[in-house]
Amino acid sequence: MRAVKMPAGAMKVARPGRLVALGFSLLAVAFLTACSGPPPGEKPLRAVLVRDLSAVAAEPVPNVYAGEVRARHESDLAFRIAGKVIERAVDTGARVVRGQVLARLDPRDVELAASAAVAQLAAAEADLALARAELKRSEDLHASNFISGSALDARRTTVRAAEARLQHAQAQAASAGNQAGYAVLRADHDGVVVAAPVEAGQVVSAGQPVLRLARPGEREVMIHVPESRVRDYRIDQEAMVRAWAADDRTYRAVVREIAPAADAATRSYALRVSVPDADDALPLGATASVAFAPGATASHETLLPLAAVTAIENVPTVWVVDADSRLQPVAVEIGAIREDGVVIRAGLPPAARVVVAGVHKLVAGEAVRTIGETQPVALDTAR
């Protein structure tokens, strides 16, 4: 056989192509090597915020209810007549004095009625004057035997009827005058306007509340107690009141009134708690908490934040951290749900470490790193 000779130019072209392909391959390997990170290490433990019940003093949980600060005496003010409100001179929160004008009705109708009553009074007075003059002439004629006694008696009866009509007209005129005065609503005592449900331009009926006026002086907090607990309270029972706006102050209080019937909508009983030493830090309309000493059966109850309780298959559950620092769900029995947390009646193990935040993200058996609820906030550099 005869060997085939390749042209010298072909060898020169093929070698650079191989070098270029080899260079691209090395560059791709180097790029992929640079993009890949170090081998994965151990995943850091999840940090959870816990409350150590063993470090919390085992004190009975008081019964706390939120209520509204109200005056001991309040009255709804209304017009005695119907009409259209043309002016409301005060707003909610205004302080008023006795006799101050609070609102006005359109006076045109009552002024016309008063004018008509005055005209009827004038007509009655004129009729009585005529009847008396005719009686005087009849008496003179009877003395001269020109008329009979029965005619004289008729004149006397006419006078008495005219006198009665005059008295009726006088009463009508006085009533119409009072009606005109009723078009102006005045404060019957000093106080503070706590509600103003009617605006200018609104047509109101007689007796419809226009303003609510609270007397200054003794104040109280109105709370609502569920049916299951209303029997735990009695008149003159002591309590402590704390305003939400000034939670650094507390006031001594006593139960003044317990509603004899439940509210039709909420099925709860209203309690009025009197605060004799209330001051400006407990203003009208403010929200306040009323705390009662717990009963004998409340020593095993525990108060936890609302975020610490969840539901697993419709069962109230809390998450605890066991001795091996692993998460375990525990079914509990809850009591009252309050503005400061939820009361746990039973189910919590003694000296448990309860997770108080992020419970919806937890997994049973997961190892965690606990952070005490009272520990200062620090940056988590491990994650």
Instruction: Answer yes or no: CATH 2.40.420.20 is held by domain 48-61+299-372.
Output: yes
Distance CA 135, CA 304 (A): 96
- The closest alpha carbon to 169, from 112, 116, 121, belongs to 121
**Res. 299 pLDDT band, cuts 50 70 90:** low
Assign 248 to helix, strand or coil.
strand
* Average pLDDT score over the chain: 83
Paired tokens of 304: 């936890």
Question: What pLDDT is recorded for position 13?
Answer: 44
Say how far apart CA 76 and CA 207 lie, in whole Å.
9
**SS3 state at 277:** coil
Same topology for domains 75-105+184-213 and 108-181, yes or no?
no
Domain boundaries, given as residue ranges, for the chain: 48-61+299-372, 64-71+217-293, 75-105+184-213, 108-181
Residue with tokens 């090395």: 26
Q: What is the pLDDT of residue 20?
A: 47
Give the model confidence (pLDDT) of 362-383 as tens digits: 888 989 988 888 776 554 555 5
Nearest in space to 46 (alpha carbons), one of 319, 331, 350: 319
On the question of pLDDT at 187 being above 90, the answer is yes
In sequence order, what are the residues at sequence separation of 6 or more whose Cβ sits closer than 8 angstroms to the Cβ of residue 164? none
Whose CA is closest to 55, among 300, 352, 279, 284?
352
- Taking the C-alpha atoms of residue 96 and residue 84, their distance in angstroms, rounded to an integer, is 23
Could you read off the pLDDT of 150-177 as tens digits, one per residue? Answer: 888 898 999 999 999 999 999 988 888 8
Distance CA 100, CA 291 (A): 39
254 confidence band (pLDDT: 50, 70, 90) = very high
The fold of 108-181 is Helix Hairpins (1.10.287)
CATH architecture of 75-105+184-213: Beta Barrel (2.40)
Tokens of 62: 């008081």
Asked whether the beta carbons of 319 and 303 are under 8 A apart, the reply is no
Q: Quick check: 55 pLDDT over 80?
A: no
CB 233 within 8 A of CB 257: no
Query: Could you give the 3-state DSSP secondary structure of residue 84?
Result: strand
Q: Which CATH class, in words, describes the domain spanning 64-71+217-293?
A: mainly beta
